[in-house]
Structure 1
């Protein structure tokens, strides 16, 4: 039985550098940290409280994920060239930056509305 695999000379092997992958992950983490800080300040200035504030955080996080998806490329194989998994754009450090978001949320609210 004949195999339909391409000859060895036509196969391509994708070699991923761990240093470059960790660098790309660090870029996403930095972007998420900045997003959490600015979104928290905006939520505080807009007096978003309770569930509205958390929905605002999830919306800004999703917006950042859309921008990152457009930046890295929409195709599955393109994203896996730059990141460990395609879902990393959507899930990496979303919950980890929630505390930073709440800190800046409280700061923004306190600066504008408590010290009037």
Structure 2
């Protein structure tokens, strides 16, 4: 019984390490997919990253460090906006794109995350 429990713990720890490595590798590829032209940034994988990295409770600085330089950055009196293209068809005349927008409200601990497609 002890051997079985130890083996199960060992297998679970290997699985967790494997998942963390895969997420780390994917995040590195995600960062380098400027304007989403390489097809790495997908809606589904981006949604997983948002949840796993707890983007909604992160600071502006930590998001910039984690996700890298945004494709667009803008400011208003009330907020800072980071915009990352996802699922962009760069090699086509078709202009359908999806955009991850992370809004950091100034003077508040409130962050909004949205994905929109046009």
TM-score, normalising length from structure 1? Answer: 0.29
More helix as a share of residues: 1
More strand as a share of residues: 2
